[in-house]
């Protein structure tokens, strides 16, 4: 069904033509990739996708942008990031390069708690000012929807300040931003009584986050040595009770039954899964047919950066029927990468996903992991006109050029928000005031 092409005041129908390929990302079947197609956009949405000559006849008054070949895809959906943080952790990277494992760095006072000490010393204004240029970098790689977690505050005030900063960022950028409250670690002041910290989360922090009204999801780092499965269940059930949908950092480094817990709770996603068990794969495959599936969100850049040498079993998950998303996990400790294209490369080279499976996982898969309906993550009639034009002749070249940014132009709601069509990065200015509301 075609949406009626509504006319905007001072604007009209925009026709994007000339792309070598248009990839709708509604199917992983390569036959779904269109050639000779154009996209008609009106009122910020895609009103039609079809043969270019046909669309020109149907919309004779349209403004036409003729692209110099290239590939059009939906905007990328990065459904798992920790993009609001202060300083980087390159110091501990050097330590890890010398052979000290991630969890051992954390035990020595580095890791998540190092970012917590840093974030607690910063004001909301500072957090916004530091995060915005980083986010512009994320957006330059084609991300048009991004999830951002709290979790470097770990006390009520610092968590609420992080969420308030995320909310201000959401108001200052054209890209779509989704906020998540994350129970990320037990802070040093509660190290001697970890159970008491879970009580605090359940009794005070999660209710305060729900009351603030910024976060849509509640997430927990469910991993042996951090929060165990029973603690994670308690945290997520409390979130659900207060209207926050569940997400889990599950089975990242060691198996703890996190994937099974995600499926049991009807979580929106189980993320990481580097150490998922066969029973976990089965649980997520079964959960894919639920009304609202639990998505398996894979974050291979993290396992690359941590030097683990083994990746989540993407093939087993896909072949069993699970819904798979790919995301960056952008954070200062285990994945300092702002862009999804390298994640697509890892998905294909290390996890044996096809280039189209990877692209679908980073678009409509990500939208499913964020429970966004409305067509986000697809280039299809009725969806928001969030698009990326890639300077490659074939979609398979998006993951193929390892670590190269081939994004030419990005639209959100039909407006150009990133223009690198001359090969240089030039992102649109952030116009809204970010200082105060
Ligand atoms: O998703 N696993 C927990 N959290 C992050 C790491 C955060 C950090 O090291 O700062 C992750 O990998
Ligand atoms: Fe994470």
Give the count of alpha carbons within 13 A of 212, CB side only.
25
pLDDT digits (tens, 9 = 90+) for 278-300: 999 999 999 999 989 999 999 99
81 lines ligand 1 (CB under 6 A): no
pLDDT digits (tens, 9 = 90+) for 383-395: 999 999 999 999 9
Q: Which atom of ligand 1 is nearest to the CA of 249?
A: 2
| C-alpha 48 to ligand 1 mean position (Å) | 41
For ligand 1, atom 8, name the residue with the nearest CA: 333
**Strand (E) positions, 43-89?**
45-51, 63-66, 71-74, 76-78
pLDDT digits (tens, 9 = 90+) for 221-261: 999 999 999 999 999 999 999 999 999 999 999 999 999 99
In percent, how much of the chain has pLDDT > 70?
Answer: 94
In this prediction the pTM is: 0.94
pLDDT digits (tens, 9 = 90+) for 160-197: 999 999 999 999 999 999 999 999 999 999 999 999 99
Task: List the one residue out of 350, 143, 365, 339 whose CA is nearest residue 269.
Answer: 365
Reported residue count of the chain is 437
Cα angle 398, 296, 171; round to 5: 70
Query: What is d(CA 29, CA 21) in angstroms, rounded to the nearest whole number?
Result: 14
Q: Which atom of ligand 1 is nearest to the CA of 152?
A: 10
| C-alpha 229 to ligand 1 mean position (Å) | 17
For ligand 1, atom 1, name the residue with the nearest CA: 329
For 293: left if phi > 0, alpha if psi spans -120 to 50, otherwise beta; the answer is beta
Report which DSSP code applies to 189: G
For 402: left if phi > 0, alpha if psi spans -120 to 50, otherwise beta; the answer is beta
| C-alpha 58 to ligand 2 mean position (Å) | 46
Question: Both tokens of residue 37?
Answer: 């197609």
154 lines ligand 1 (CB under 6 A): no
**Residues contacting residue 260 through CB under 8 Å, at least 6 positions apart:** 279, 280, 283
| C-alpha 299 to ligand 2 mean position (Å) | 8
251 lines ligand 1 (CB under 6 A): no
Say if residues 349 and 317 touch (Cβ distance below 8 Å).
no
For ligand 1, atom 3, name the residue with the nearest CA: 221
Ligand 1 mutation pick, 331, 337, 343, max ligand atoms within 8 A of CB: 331
Q: Is the pLDDT of residue 2 over 50?
A: no
| C-alpha 151 to ligand 2 mean position (Å) | 10
221 lines ligand 1 (CB under 6 A): yes
Q: Is the pLDDT of residue 111 over 70?
A: yes
311 lines ligand 1 (CB under 6 A): no
Ligand 1 mutation pick, 110, 112, 182, 220, max ligand atoms within 8 A of CB: 112
State the pLDDT confidence band at 309, using cuts at 50, 70 and 90. confident
Q: Which atom of ligand 1 is nearest to the CA of 333?
A: 9
């Amino acid at each position: 069904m075609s949406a009626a092409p509504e006319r905007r005041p001072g604007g009209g129908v925009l026709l994007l033509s000339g792309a070598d390929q248009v990839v709708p990302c509604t199917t992983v079947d390569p036959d779904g990739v269109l050639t000779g197609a154009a996209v008609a956009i009106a009122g910020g949405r895609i009103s039609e996708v079809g043969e270019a000559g046909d669309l020109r006849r149907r919309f004779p008054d349209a403004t036409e942008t003729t692209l110099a070949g290239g590939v059009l895809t939906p905007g990328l959906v990065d459904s798992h990031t920790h993009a609001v943080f202060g300083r980087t952790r390159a110091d501990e990277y050097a330590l890890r390069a010398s052979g000290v494992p991630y969890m051992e760095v954390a035990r020595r006072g580095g890791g998540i708690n190092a970012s917590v000490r840093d974030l607690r010393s910063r004001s909301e204004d500072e957090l916004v000012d530091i995060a915005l240029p980083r986010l512009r970098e994320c957006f330059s790689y084609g991300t048009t929807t991004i999830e951002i977690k709290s979790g470097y505050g770990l006390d009520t005030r610092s968590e609420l300040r992080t969420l308030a900063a995320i909310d201000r960022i959401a108001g200052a950028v054209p890209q779509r931003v989704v906020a998540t409250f994350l129970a990320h670690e037990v802070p040093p002041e509660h190290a001697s009584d970890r159970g008491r910290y879970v009580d605090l989360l359940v009794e005070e922090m999660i209710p305060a986050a729900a009351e603030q009204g910024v976060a849509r999801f509640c997430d927990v780092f469910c991993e042996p040595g951090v929060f165990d499965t029973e603690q994670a269940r308690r945290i997520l059930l409390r979130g659900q009770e207060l209207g926050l949908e569940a997400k889990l950092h599950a089975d990242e480094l060691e198996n703890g039954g996190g994937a099974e817990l995600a499926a049991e709770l009807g979580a929106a996603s189980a993320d990481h899964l580097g150490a998922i068990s066969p029973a976990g794969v089965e649980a997520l495959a079964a959960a894919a047919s639920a009304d609202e599936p639990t998505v398996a969100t894979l974050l291979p850049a993290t396992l690359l950066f941590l030097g683990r040498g083994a990746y989540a079993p993407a093939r087993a998950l896909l072949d069993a029927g699970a819904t798979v998303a790919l995301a960056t996990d952008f954070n200062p400790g285990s994945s300092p990468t702002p862009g999804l294209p390298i994640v697509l490369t890892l998905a294909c080279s290390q996890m044996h996903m096809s280039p189209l499976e990877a692209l679908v996982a980073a678009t409509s898969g990500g939208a499913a992991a964020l429970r966004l309906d409305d067509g986000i993550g697809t280039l299809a009639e009725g969806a928001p006109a969030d698009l990326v034009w890639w300077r490659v002749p074939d979609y398979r070249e998006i993951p193929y050029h390892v670590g190269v940014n081939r994004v030419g132009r990005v639209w959100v709601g039909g407006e150009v928000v990133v223009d690198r069509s001359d090969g240089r990065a030039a992102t649109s200015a952030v116009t809204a005031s970010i200082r105060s509301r």
